[in-house]
Chain A
């Protein structure tokens, strides 16, 4: 355990914990739009900047992204210093210019007292905020079927060569976790359509619900040592089946 000070309060945190996590445990609100507990911190949105210093640093202090900065003994963290607020407000102002129509950004702007962006707003863009969550989650699944592509303001989330991605298993993790719901996915007549690919959905042998793509099922069976027939029933039916089995054992 290391002892550090966040906003004047002395706290203890496990070594390797990031400052953002430690601060959130103390109920300190630090905004972040690219952070997700399931994947490694990324440091893209820069909203979680905090100011750090240390008694041994000879008066030096600076801004770091709290999602990436590990706690250390004697660290002094200020989560809302004037410098932090100034930089954070500029970032929100810039985000508002880029995504004038995004409810999430609008809410953040209101929170920081920004009514209108002071920059030239972008119009006609989609709602992707380039948080990179979909890419990182996909890589975390072991697929890496999508990636960021291009540079600068033209950066986007894309599939290899903008074609239907070969490595995609249609698991839908990108769609379900997109904070701006910008990745379309459709399940219709036993077929899932995502990233311009069509996947056959396996129907549950018990209830008939189309519940998982064949590619996703095969991938999980292979990598998690599951029997090949595991996905013939859906999760809900499996639970019912288990409940029946338990009931038979305890016989009440």
Chain B
């Protein structure tokens, strides 16, 4: 590997790569994000390799095969993209590979069968940038994710990587860098939305022997995988952002905190750090300047609470990951009691973009107070699930109905859960809510790190609240009493409601206990833990009341409160009889069936298989 001692070395390296890239006729991008990997994308990459070798096309110059990070449309994986035409094949199987090479790569013909059909609009797209899922997105954080090989530093350099760093180190004073970040309007993307430049400035001004930089990669919200996608798919952008940040605040040691449950993120980050060190972007006298900085990967055990900054710092120190009160801010006294600047993966990743594109570019996107973009994971009952990035201020309607292509089976939209366990549910009445830090907080939810769980009318909001309370109850560190004991009791009450054991005044009890948990808890996990139950109570109170007073679950979810019935639409096809694992359905062929209530476990298997809408939930 080349070593850059000066910015000129980097320039030469990237020009050389440019020249080489011009010789490349086609680039085959095989998505190797977690979704596609699970659907067998490694086998597809292997098939391409074998097939290219068999045809003697594997020079790696003319036809280049690249395994990339997550491309986004996880729902349709495994995904293969042919560049430079942006031809986009979905649900590719290894047996499709010879045909792709024969038709598309050799002859330039598009294989209709493998193109993406918009499920709602029934339209086929050749260029993925035209698919509404992609067309509505603006990719800043995900600018390289899904397009480059994360394990090849040269791919990052070829797209202009580390040039922002060169520019900063050789021509900008640290104060100027902070000023630039301030002008971009960048705010913490981990959920808090604290102005990044303000944090950096406090850290820079704080007295201490050593200032530390931390990248928080402990993404733990159920349904969220943005930071994972960035760390796996474009690790160098995070590293470059951290080096620039370190220079701005005067730090010489950084940590990337990644959870052990993200093995690929750990591996790719570690390799990127090693490569950056070999290339001279980390270590002593970077680009020949007096600036020295290095990064270590610190692996977390997968505790949700370790995403909280003070608990994360204790964990990096090797102590039990328990938060501590932040009456003295961690920018002044954080890791090892030294000034510490902690930012989220996506925040660090935005920094090189700000430097190379200029702060005005980011500042021109978004709303008045929330600038730039935000990556989200669109999941749940929506047609297109996957990784997306939108300018701040995009409405929920645009996200769910245009990017997401609407609700599966066109069922009614009920609400969307944002902000993870600390967030809340935004109801369908707020579908035109522009997504930014302030609007979501006003709606009783929060931006959070970027999970977005879409729910239809078959989702029970009491059950949703119970799910998140159970998650938080188990993930509470247990240090402080209101969070440890309070969440357990709050879960008890909500669980009782879903089981038909609710008592009078339970809703008031929930509200009172929630208030004390929010007032009394030590850290943000506890302080925000009642949010899922409070926001669902705010918008779906009648649903709670139906559970309590009528002992019914209108969405048909809470097992203790529902019964399955067979109506006269039954044709006696016996499908449900076969699906029932508990012999709870009786009936002769072509005769109407019956469910034996005492044997029925309310698993819903019959409901799922019936093709005639003959099974009802009461």
B603, CB-defined interface residue at 8 Å: no
Q: Contact between B477 and A46 (Cβ–Cβ < 8 Å)?
A: no
Are the C-beta atoms of B520 and A155 separated by less than 8 Å? no
From DSSP, what is the main secondary structure of chain A's interface residues?
mixed
Are B480 and A43 neighbours in the complex by a CB distance under 8 Å? Answer: yes
Q: Does A98 make an interface contact (CB < 8 A)?
A: yes
Is B509 in contact with chain A by the CB < 8 A criterion? Answer: yes
Tell whether A155 pairs with B477 under 8 Å between CB atoms, given A68-B327, A87-B516, A87-B519. yes
Whether the Cβ atoms of A46 and B478 lie closer than 8 Å is no
Chain A nearest Cβ from B502, distance in angstroms = 13
Q: Flag if A46 contacts B520 (CB, 8 Å).
A: yes
Instruction: Give the complex CA separation of A88 and B387 in angstroms.
Output: 44
Contact of B485 among A70, A98, A149, A151 (CB under 8 A): A98
Q: Is the CB of A153 within 8 A of B488?
A: yes
Residues of B within 8 A of A153 (CB): 473, 476, 478, 484-485, 488
Residues of A in contact, count (CB < 8 Å): 36
The answer to whether A63 touches B519, judged by C-beta atoms less than 8 angstroms apart, is yes
- Would you call B327 and A83 a contact (CB within 8 A)? no
Residues of A within 8 A of B325 (CB): 43, 64-65, 68-69
Q: Flag whether B240 is at the interface (Cβ < 8 A).
A: no
When chains A and B are docked, how far (Å) is the Cα of A130 from the Cα of B521? 15
Closest A residue to B322 by CB, please name it: A148
| Nearest CB in chain A: distance from B347 CB, A | 27
B486 within 8 Å of A (CB atoms): yes
Q: How far is the CB of A168 from chain B (nearest CB, A)?
A: 18
B88 to chain A, nearest CB (A): 43
Q: Is B474 touching A151 in the complex (CB atoms < 8 A)?
A: yes
The reply to whether B480 and A46 contact each other, CB–CB distance below 8 Å, is yes
Given the known inter-chain contacts A64-B327, A118-B509, please indicate yes or no for A151 contacting B521, CB distance below 8 A: no
- A152 interface residue per 8 A CB criterion: yes
B320 on interface, CB distance cutoff 8 Å: yes
Tell me the residues in window 147-189 of chain A with beta carbons closer than 8 Å to chain B beta carbons: 147-155
B504 proximal to A (CB < 8 A)? no
With A69-B327, A151-B475 already in contact, the answer to whether A44 and B489 are too (CB < 8 A) is no
- Looking at the complex, which one of B324, B478, B489, B515 makes contact with A155 (CB distance below 8 Å)? B478
Q: Say yes or no for A45: interface residue by CB 8 A criterion.
A: yes
A49 touches B520 (CB 8 A): yes
Whether the Cβ atoms of B486 and A94 lie closer than 8 Å is yes
A97–B489 touching, CB < 8 Å: yes
Q: Name the one of A49, A63, A70, A152 contacting B484, with C-beta atoms under 8 angstroms.
A: A152
Nearest CB of chain B from residue A51's CB, rounded to whole Å: 10
Contact in complex: A90, B474 (CB < 8 Å): no
Pick from B320, B473, B476, B485 the residue with the most CB of A within 10 Å.
B485
Whole-angstrom distance from the CB of A49 to the nearest CB of chain B?
6
Q: State the Cβ distance, B304 to closest chain A Cβ, in Å.
A: 9
Q: Which residue of A lies closest to B328 (CB)?
A: A70
CB contacts (< 8 Å) of A86 on chain B: these are 515-516
Query: In the complex the two chains form, what is the Cα distance from A167 to B420 in whole Å?
Result: 40
B489 touches A120 (CB 8 A): yes
Kindly list 6 other residue pairs between chains A and B, CB separation below 8 angstroms, not including A152-B487, A153-B478.
A65-B325, A69-B327, A94-B489, A119-B489, A151-B305, A151-B477
Chain A residues proximal to chain B, CB less than 8 Å:
42-47, 49, 63-65, 68-70, 83, 86-87, 90-91, 94-95, 97-98, 118-120, 130, 132, 147-155
What is B's interface to A at a CB cutoff of 8 Å?
A: 303, 305, 320, 322, 324-325, 327, 473-482, 484-489, 492, 509, 512-513, 515-516, 519-522
